[in-house]
Chain A
Amino acid sequence: MRLSIAILAAVLASHPLMAAESWGLPNEEAATFSAKVVDMQCALTGDCPKDCGDGRRQLGFLTGDGKLILAMKNADPFAGASRDLLPFCGQTVTADGLFATNEGVRVFALQRIKPAKGQWIAANGFVRAWAKTNKVAADGEQAAEWFRHDPTVAALIAIGGKLGLGPDAPPKE
């Protein structure tokens, strides 16, 4: 009995509790794979700043068979995956997420990440970092709708308006 519980615990610890969650994307495929975290620009051009660009570079995965995968999205609303991947720059991790294919373009959204010696981490790194920077609770209402409270977004919309045509442009003709 004890052995069964130990085996079950080991299995649960080494696999995500559930496969990637469906987001209803076109031609969606759940995927779990091992790969090295890389700076995309570095992998393509050889221009490789320290620490994968320290949060200023788009990051992705280089698989064991040499495939380069851009991590286009994380599990936060309107946010990318660089914050989630940055702590694991150059390390081999297990990624869990969704591929989607639309009009011939295949993209990957990261939902969870597991370092070589660690537990699964939800790919909500952008909102966690945003909440810390803006001194609000990561599980609060402002963080949940960070895009409505972000000072950079507010400054850009104040100049360009929601349509980008200027602050006085009518919202709908």
Chain B
Amino acid sequence: MAAKRNLSKTMFATVFGLASVIAFCAGSIGASTARRVTLTGEVIDSWCQSTGIMYALGTAHHQCAIWCAVGGIPVGLRTADGTLYTILRADADKRNVASPRLLKIQTHEISVEADLYERDGGRYLLIDQVLDDHGIVNQTHADNGIQPFGE
């Protein structure tokens, strides 16, 4: 009798355990795995930079980058090797459409610690700490004017 009761308890525990695992997995469907990264780069407008439709770095493109960020185009980070990342969070600001935090550091050179998610060709950064902010260091306007309209 005791053996039967123990078997029932074991079966219950197994079924409950399996159900918990299944429920946990179901809750995370589609979620991806991140890796920790430390990166240094320029805060950029993703659209102009990734399509190459105009010169889109530094002071020459700062005003346009502000327009695009306020307009809700994703803000990105471009590292010195030309790799582009889309920023989905900066510090405590979980907003990533016209984020006040990102508007404040547009075109700045920053160093960050972040979670990097890579999925289907996209690189997405969730920055939990801006380690260093060097301000705007990439002065490109003398060679490129003001993009895109020259004023």
Q: How far is the CA of A83 from the CA of B98 in the complex (A)?
A: 12
B46 partner, pick from A72, A106, A146, A173, beta carbons under 8 A: A72
Contact A45 B117 (CB under 8 A): yes
* A45–B29 alpha-carbon span in the complex (Å): 10
Contacts of B62 in A (CB 8 A): 160, 162-164
Given contacts A41-B88, A100-B51, contact A126 B34 (CB under 8 A): no
What distance in Å separates the Cβ of A117 from its nearest Cβ neighbour in chain B? Answer: 25
In contact, A58 and B66 (Cβ under 8 angstroms)? no
Tell me the residues in window 68-122 of chain B with beta carbons closer than 8 Å to chain A beta carbons: 68, 70-74, 82, 84, 86, 88-89, 94-98, 103, 106-107, 115, 117, 119-122
Bound together, the chains give a CA A50 to CA B27 distance in angstroms of 15
Contacts of A160 in B (CB 8 A): 62, 66
Interface size on B, residues (CB 8 A): 53
Shortest B95–chain A CB gap in Å is 4
Q: Is the CB of B97 within 8 A of A56?
A: yes
Q: Which 9 A-B pairs have the closest CB atoms?
A: A80-B72, A79-B71, A164-B62, A163-B59, A147-B67, A56-B95, A46-B31, A78-B67, A162-B63
Distance A22 CA – B121 CA, assembled complex (angstroms): 23
- Report the bound CA distance from A112 to B123 in whole Å: 25
Contact in complex: B136, A40 (CB < 8 Å) = no
User: A40-B88, A56-B94, A160-B62 are known contacts. Are A126 and B72 too (CB-CB below 8 A)?
Assistant: yes
Would you give the shortest CB distance from A47 to chain B, in whole angstroms?
8
Given contacts A68-B119, A78-B67, A172-B146, A45 and B126 within 8 Å (CB-CB): yes
Give the distance in Å from the alpha carbon of A47 to the alpha carbon of B120 in the complex.
19
Q: Which residue of chain B has its CB nearest to the CB of A76? A: B71
User: Hey, which chain A residues are within 8 Å of B46, CB to CB?
Assistant: 72, 107
